[in-house]
Chain A
Amino acid sequence: AQKVTQAQTEISVVEKEDVTLDCVYETRDTTYYLFWYKQPPSGELVFLIRRNSFDEQNEISGRYSWNFQKSTSSFNFTITASQVVDSAVYFCALSEFSGGTSYGKLTFGQGTILTVHP
């Protein structure tokens, strides 16, 4: 069975600090997809990034960067120079390869509450 663990329940930082959100996953499949979502106070989940298991290149998008390491089954998310608007709950999620027309179930971690203080 697949599992996603976000060990940090809550993180509190001061604006302009860098912060890393950890995500560790378990799966028996060799093909799978990893996602990060942001849930601001308004409630909807906002898609941030998708990674497939064959692409271990790190990715940077503005102040956001993601470090995917298959050897440690981790997909960590770093926010550089954090801002108050980054305050939200962040979810890591894993989807195993479904193949054909089968549904690929998405398993979410518990979420990390990030609070950025001015």
Chain B
Amino acid sequence: DGGITQSPKYLFRKEGQNVTLSCEQNLNHDAMYWYRQDPGQGLRLIYYSQIVNDFQKGDIAEGYSVSREKKESFPLTVTSAQKNPTAFYLCASSMSAYSNQPQHFGDGTRLSIL
């Protein structure tokens, strides 16, 4: 089945540690996105990528890093610089980054601090 796979489902981070969240899609979509969701809030954009080997900062990129070396993969690293990483992280993709394209989402990764 075509879709977006995020792993792991749950992740725990120790102080000072970097962790990487995986996002893979087999929809052949050009654009991919990372969002952060906090309780009672909407989704906030961390990073997006319109095409392979290109990515741009979203509204809350500080403390995060990404790479886009393959079309189907867009991993997100939560660095130790992110002081409040506890949140639900959602990866999405769309055919292109044009504004009219609906985004399709993965099941999310819940990150907590140990």
> Is B truly associated with A?
yes
Which chain A residues have a beta carbon within 8 Å of chain B's beta carbons?
A: 4, 9, 32-33, 35, 37, 42-47, 50, 52, 91, 95-98, 101-106, 108-111
Tell me the total A-B contact number using a CB cutoff of 8 A. Answer: 67
Residues B102 and A91 in contact, CB atoms below 8 Å apart: no
Residues B97 and A44 in contact, CB atoms below 8 Å apart: no
The answer to whether A106 and B103 touch (CB under 8 A), given A9-B40, A91-B43, A111-B42, is: yes
Q: Which residues of A contact B103 (CB under 8 A)?
A: 45, 47, 106
Q: Which residues of B contact A108 (CB under 8 A)?
A: 42-44
> With A and B bound together, what is the CA distance between A87 and B43 in angstroms?
19
Which of A50, A104, A110 contacts B97 (CB under 8 A)?
A104
Which of B40, B50, B90 contacts A45 (CB under 8 A)?
B90
Residues A45 and B105 in contact, CB atoms below 8 Å apart: yes
Q: Please report the total number of B residues contacting A with Cβ < 8 Å.
A: 24
Residues A52 and B100 in contact, CB atoms below 8 Å apart: yes
Residues B100 and A104 in contact, CB atoms below 8 Å apart: yes
Residues B102 and A50 in contact, CB atoms below 8 Å apart: yes
From B31, B45, B99, name the one whose CB has the most chain A CB atoms within 10 angstroms: B99
- In residues 18-53 of chain B, which contact A (Cβ within 8 Å)? 31, 40-45, 48, 50
> With A and B bound together, what is the CA distance between A109 and B100 in angstroms?
17
> With A and B bound together, what is the CA distance between A53 and B97 in angstroms?
18
Residues B42 and A33 in contact, CB atoms below 8 Å apart: no
Q: Which residues of A contact B97 (CB under 8 A)?
A: 98, 101-104
Residues B107 and A105 in contact, CB atoms below 8 Å apart: no
Q: Which residues of A contact B102 (CB under 8 A)?
A: 35, 47, 50
Which of A9, A35, A101 contacts B50 (CB under 8 A)?
A101
CB pairs A–B below 8 angstroms (9 shown):
A32-B99, A45-B90, A45-B105, A47-B103, A50-B100, A50-B102, A97-B99, A101-B50, A108-B43
Residues A96 and B99 in contact, CB atoms below 8 Å apart: yes
> With A and B bound together, what is the CA distance between A47 and B42 in angstroms?
15
Nearest Cβ on chain B to A88's Cβ, whole angstroms: 13
